[in-house]
Amino acid sequence: MQLPTSNELPVNLLAACFNNTTSTYKFYWLLAILQEVEKNHLVIPKRNLFARMISNAWFTVNYFHVSFGKQDWIQETIQFVNTVEKIPIDEKQASVFHKLSTTTNKTTESKLWHFNKNVPHWFLSPWFAKKDKNDIYRLSKSFSENCLYALHDDTIEIHPLWGNYLLANARMLKDFCVWNLALFLQSKNPNVPDIPNKLIKPAFRNSLNIQRTKYWDVVLKELGSVPCIYTGDALTIGNYAVEHFIPYHFVSHDLIWNLIPANKLFNSSKSDKLPPMDLYFNPFYDLQKTAFDIIRTKSPNNKLLEDYLTIFPDLTTHFSKEKFRESIQPLITIASNNGFEFLTLDKKSIR
């Protein structure tokens, strides 16, 4: 993906900011700058930029548990702020930014200002090759080399020509940042599915009404009821929740092979917990297999059956328990390694 060209500015140097990237700082720094420029701010408090860096990454770290790497200060700062500032993990980005940009907690402020040690001046290194921090600060103040911004103690000042460029191309520049950030994080999380959709909190979750009415209601109509694999309660049409066996927060999809009916209260309590495979895989598989056979017989053209193709390339072959387990077990393991906790509720505790 290429950046929009300019006859007046060295756009190639802006693109070069992301060469040899070893952390997420540069991506979130430019995203923060773009957000401020879109508000017509050309003199920007560094505190605001640091707060935006954290708020932009808040959802990715807290909600989807995507790893930024052990040395990444953004992830560590978010985990700290989570504890100190008591901000909900699924809080809106604007609310997180407001809290962090106005907090008077000295430790939180110190965590934010840690980014000032390297991020603002090293981002300008393509304009000032082989210069040290003091030289970059000094040279940037006169916009030497048509650099992106001037560095001051508490603020940055966007070069007027760059301000026009950033504002005119903000959407494409954001896409450039998010795309390259996704590639970077995918390299750090090679087995985590759908990284791009874990970078920005969606406005709303997809409804599972089709999966309910076109699939599980058909199964329940045929059987009358099925037992909840977690509680043993009889589930009937209109009296169940559609539940993600592997948490949505990890897989970020609604494919039918990961969805089962469950006790409504249990589904709320389970949240994004992982089901222990030794306890729940066999009943999960049995329910999936029964449902698959019913739908294939009663509704052979049901589009939801195609969801199983990601596990079974040929749906006419045996619906193998071993193949199902081989597909699900690694996802459970990776999710656990990324910080998702296992379910510990007793089966009878919610009856």
Contact call for residues 32 and 56 (beta carbons, < 8 A): yes
Q: What mean pLDDT do residues 53-59 have?
A: 95
Work out the mean pLDDT of the chain and round it to a whole number.
Answer: 92
What global pTM score does this model have? 0.76
**pLDDT tens digit sequence for 321-337:** 999 999 999 999 988 98
Q: What mean pLDDT do residues 304-310 have?
A: 91
Question: Would you state the pLDDT for residue 345?
Answer: 57
214-220, long-range: CB < 8 A, 24+ apart: 214/299, 214/302, 214/304, 215/256, 215/259, 215/291, 215/295, 215/302, 215/304, 216/240, 216/242, 216/259, 216/260, 216/261, 216/291, 218/294, 218/295, 218/298, 218/299, 219/290, 219/291, 219/294, 219/295, 220/261
Q: What mean pLDDT do residues 99-120 have?
A: 95
Question: Residue 313's pLDDT band (boundaries 50, 70, 90)?
Answer: confident
**pLDDT tens digit sequence for 145-193:** 999 999 999 999 999 999 999 999 999 999 999 999 999 999 888 888 8
Over 70: is that where the pLDDT of 204 sits?
no
Least confident of 23-27, 150-154, 315-319: 315-319
Percent of the chain with pLDDT over 70: 96
